């Protein structure tokens, strides 16, 4: 059986990683469902009880990889859930400003001003 320790994670680009994931998915679906379930169970069990898998990419790279393959509904759900959790963290002024900046990207300056005025005057966006 292939050993994960033999892979050089630092040389694996996100594009190569995505390509390998697509090939793996195709191979799984090409198998008989019983065979695929057995093989996947064995591999996952081995990884859980063996030495930890090498961490190939940093959290941001993993997030970008996932976001690239996610549907709009997935992205929206994770964005809302993450935003709700992040509001409970002490991000500081700079951290909160970076979040606001990301939210306002792609919106024209007049619309940004209207949104910020609404937040400033009312303490929140009207629903």
95 with 48, same domain?
A: no
**15 and 56 share one domain:** yes
**Whole-number mean pLDDT of the chain?**
79
Residues 88 and 56 in one domain: no
Structure token digits, residue 12: 């694996």
Count CB-CB contacts under 10 A for residue 79: 13
Q: Is the full-model pTM beyond 0.75? A: no
Looking up tokens 């002490």, which residue turns up? 90
Q: Whole domain around residue 86: which residue ranges?
A: 72-122
pLDDT number for residue 1: 45
Q: What is the pLDDT of residue 7?
A: 56
> What's the gap between Cα 75 and its chain centre?
9
Residues with Cβ < 8 Å from 67, sequence gap 6 or more?
75
């Amino acid at each position: 059986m292939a050993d994960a320790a033999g892979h050089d994670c630092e040389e694996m680009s996100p594009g190569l990683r995505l390509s390998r994931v697509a090939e793996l998915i195709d191979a799984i679906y090409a198998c008989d469902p019983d065979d695929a379930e057995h093989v996947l169970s064995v591999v996952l069990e081995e990884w859980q009880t063996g030495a930890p898998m090498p961490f190939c990419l940093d959290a941001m790279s993993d997030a970008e990889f996932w976001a690239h393959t996610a549907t709009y509904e997935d992205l929206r759900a994770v964005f809302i859930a993450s935003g709700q959790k992040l509001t409970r963290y002490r991000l500081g002024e700079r951290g909160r400003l970076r979040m606001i900046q990301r939210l306002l990207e792609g919106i024209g300056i007049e619309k940004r001003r209207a949104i910020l005025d609404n937040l400033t005057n009312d303490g929140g966006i009207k629903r």
